[in-house]
């Protein structure tokens, strides 16, 4: 069972914090990646650039003039040369977009960038806590680098945020085009969908379609049955009359299967002995002409006249 700790000093060790510079105002600047790499990989401890603050008169409203401040970062020439092949693409000047707290904007209106986008830091207060390891020295003994102690100090309070923006020109776009493919999350996205490769053998784009089963069955049946050869006219008419004795209406395809005759020859004979229906209920079907019919009155659907009421 764990006991609650009433005193916070028992849970965490206490360190002395130097607050002599706690009230100093500092800027929190966001710089591009290529500029941060230049600063980190710089071989010398010299200056990396200069911050230039220029004031120009701007017109606000009608007749009221108010000075506007512009802040620029000018990169050192020696630092730009260390970029190597991309030195010609690295912009030398960067514009600062400054954001300040509302309290500082109201109290220090004369500072550069105080009136720009003050609402972005409303309700926020940032301080810089510096933590460093200091070697321990005891009396007259020399400093032992293996024994170190931690020292904490407040470096200052953030009163302005600045965003370092490069100029939107063609050189900057070329620099970004060189950097984007090297990023790990962009390698798969920037990979080409189509790649060029050398083919040793020709590629067959056409593949023959397999012969379907119903086509094979139809060809086999056609070979067994043979072609429809014209027979004697009287023999075909005899088969047609026998067919119409079983059914009153026939489609031409059914008559072709029964008589085994070509379509043109069968149609020619049907026009002599039958009529083609073009209206429902027996549309597109053949029926014998009245002079060739031998149906009873009940089968043909004709009502038998009553005796004594003829005519």
What would the pLDDT profile of 259-306 be if each residue is shown by its tens digit? 989 999 999 999 999 999 999 999 999 999 999 987 665 554 444 444
Which pLDDT value is given to residue 248?
93
Q: For residue 9, is pLDDT > 80?
A: no
- Neighbouring residues of 256: CB distance < 8 A, sequence distance ≥ 6: 228, 263, 266
At which residue do the structure tokens 């931690």 appear? 150
Q: For the residues 44-62, what does the mean pLDDT come to?
A: 73
Neighbours of 98 (CB within 10 A): 22
The more confidently predicted of residues 19 and 207 is 19
Q: How far is CA 289 from CA 244, 270, 275, 296, in A?
A: 11, 10, 6, 15
The whole-number pLDDT of residue 103 equals: 52
Percentage, residues of the chain above pLDDT 90:
18
Q: What is the DSSP letter of 201?
A: S
| pLDDT at 252 exceeding the cut of 90 | yes
- Give the CATH number of domain 228-292; options: 1.20.1740.10, 3.20.20.30, 1.10.10.10, 2.40.110.10: 1.10.10.10
pLDDT band at 254 (very low <50, low <70, confident <90, very high): very high
Domain with CATH 1.10.10.10 in the chain: 228-292
Give residues with Cβ within 8 angstroms of 12, minimum separation 6. none
Q: Are 157 and 166 in contact (CB under 8 A)?
A: no
Lowest mean pLDDT among 134-148, 218-232, 288-302: 134-148
């Amino acid at each position: 069972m764990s006991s609650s700790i009433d005193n916070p000093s028992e849970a965490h060790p206490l360190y002395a914090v130097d607050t002599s510079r706690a009230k100093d105002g500092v800027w929190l600047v966001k710089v591009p990646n290529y500029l941060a790499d230049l600063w980190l990989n710089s071989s010398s401890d010299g200056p990396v650039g200069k911050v230039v603050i220029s004031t120009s008169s701007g017109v606000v409203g009608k007749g009221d003039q108010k000075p506007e401040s512009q802040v620029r970062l000018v990169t050192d020439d020696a630092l730009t040369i260390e970029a190597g092949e991309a030195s010609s693409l690295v912009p030398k000047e960067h514009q600062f977009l400054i954001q300040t707290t509302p309290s500082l904007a109201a109290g220090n209106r004369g500072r550069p960038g105080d009136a720009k986008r003050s609402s972005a830091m409303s309700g926020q207060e940032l301080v810089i806590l510096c933590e460093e390891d200091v070697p321990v020295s005891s009396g007259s003994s020399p400093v032992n680098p293996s024994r170190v102690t931690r020292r904490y100090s407040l470096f200052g309070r953030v009163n302005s945020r600045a965003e370092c923006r490069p100029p939107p020109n063609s050189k900057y776009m070329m620099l970004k085009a060189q950097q984007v493919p090297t990023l790990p999350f962009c390698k798969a996205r920037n990979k080409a969908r189509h790649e060029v490769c050398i083919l040793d053998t020709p590629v067959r784009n056409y593949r023959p379609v397999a012969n379907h089963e119903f086509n094979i069955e139809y060809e086999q049946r056609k070979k067994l049955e043979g072609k429809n050869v014209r027979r004697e006219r009287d023999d075909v008419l005899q088969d047609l009359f026998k067919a119409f004795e079983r059914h009153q209406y026939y489609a031409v395809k059914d008559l072709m299967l029964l008589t085994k005759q070509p379509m043109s020859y069968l149609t020619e004979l049907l026009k002599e002995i039958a009529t083609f229906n073009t209206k429902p209920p027996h549309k597109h079907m053949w029926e014998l002409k009245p002079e060739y019919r031998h149906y009873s009155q009940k089968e043909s659907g004709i009502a038998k006249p009553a005796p004594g009421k003829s005519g």
